[in-house]
Every structure is written in C-alpha cells, then in structure tokens.
Amino acid sequence: MNEEIQAATLRVFIALAPPDEAKDELARELRPAYDAYPRMRWNRIEDWHITLAFLGELPVAAVPLLRTPLADLAATRRTVDLALRGGGHFDERVLWSGIDGDLEGLHLLATDVRDVVKECGIAFEGRPLRPHLTLARSGREDPSCVVKAAAGLAEFTGRPWQAERLHLVGSNFGRGPGPIRYRDIEAWKFGGGA
C-alpha cells in the first residue's frame, strides 16, 4: 500500500535556478567548508535553487494542472536580476547562501506563482518567502559546523545574474536513503513582458 501511495504522489515545488557560472563561483567559495566539514550533507550543485512555492506531496494527477498556468505566467514576466550573497543558517542545522538584487521583483514573482497555484485548486503551506539557496544540512556533523560554515560565507558577494526560467520541480525527498535529488518536471523561459 505504501508503495502505491508513493507512486501516486510527487513532492513538488516551483523555483528559480542560478546559472552554472554563479553556482560555480559559490562552490569555489565553499571549497574550504567542503574540506573542513565532510560529514555535512551537502546538496548537489545541480540541485541548488530558490524556492518560490513549496507545494509538498501532490497527487501525480494534479501536476499537469499547473503546467499551462505557470507557462502563461512565465510568458508575461521579465527576468529577475539576482546575485548570491553571504550565508546563514536555520537552527544551526541548515546552511544557506543569501539572495541579493531585485528582491521586490522576486517577492512579486513568488506572490504571482502562489496565486496561480491557488487558482489551480492546489492547497499548500504558504510560508513567507525567505529567499535563500540551501547548501547543506548538519547530518552527522556537529551543528556548530553549520554556524562556522555560514560565517565563512559572510563576506561572499557573487556576480549578478538573471533568473531566466521558472522551474516546476519534483523531488524524491523521504524516499529512501541517500541525498535528496531534484528533477525539472518542466521549465519555462520568461517572456520579457511587464
């Protein structure tokens, strides 16, 4: 029964992804922390993203309802100018990099994305947007390592970049051992509208 439930649902979120150059720049900055804290559960660089709306576990049949409305939203939006900046932690367990740039535009986009999801009849936990990129979790490492790694990012300022696509993402979170893996269900290029 549990396998049937898992096969019939998918953990879903809507996000922006930094370009490879921005992620590589941050990865270089993190290299000392990777070496110093190898037992932290580091997210894969290809999975780094900025969550706009976390929808949680959805029936697989609900996911197609989002495609057209999200594509339409992306077609009317301009790119958002952002940068990765600094670092911090949530409860000494989760290491993150901060987001800088057009934060007003980012918040407006997140509000519009969440409105689209609600219009599709999909209920989700609407936590306030706290723009960040999750990098690692303490795992078996002493939680103070997360605080130290965050302090090592305090002066980091990444190059500016444009978020050019809106991503509908699925994950295998909670589905067995190993790291969390994400995959694009679909992504839409922003169309340059108002």
CATH number of the structural domain spanning residue 181: 3.90.1140.10
Task: Give residue 145's pLDDT.
Answer: 94
For residue 144, tell me if it sits in a domain: yes
For residue 159, tell me if it sits in a domain: yes
Q: How many CB atoms lie within 10 A of CB 109?
A: 23
For residue 194, tell me if it sits in a domain: no
For residue 14, tell me if it sits in a domain: yes
Task: Give residue 180's pLDDT.
Answer: 61
Task: Give residue 56's pLDDT.
Answer: 92
Q: Which one-letter amino acid corresponds to residue 92?
A: E
Task: Give residue 5's pLDDT.
Answer: 44
Count of structural domains within the chain: 1
Q: Which of 49, 89, 107, 167 is the catalytic position?
A: 49
Is-catalytic flag, 132? yes
Q: Low-confidence residues of the chain, pLDDT below 50?
A: 1-6, 194
CA contacts within 13 A on the Cβ side of 101: 22
For residue 18, tell me if it sits in a domain: yes
Task: Give residue 2's pLDDT.
Answer: 41
Q: With contact defined as beta carbons under 8 Å apart, do 120 and 65 qualify?
A: yes
Residue 50 lies in domain: 2-189
Task: DSSP for the chain, please give it.
Answer: -HHHHHHTEEEEEEEE---HHHHHHHHHHHHHHHHH-TTSEEPPGGG--EEEEEEEEEEGGGHHHHHHHHHHHHHH---EEEEEEEEEEETTTEEEEEEEE-HHHHHHHHHHHHHHHHHTT-----PPP--EEEEEE-TTS-THHHHHHHHHTTT-BPPPEEE-EEEEEEE-TTSSSS---EEEEEEEE-----
Task: Give residue 124's pLDDT.
Answer: 87
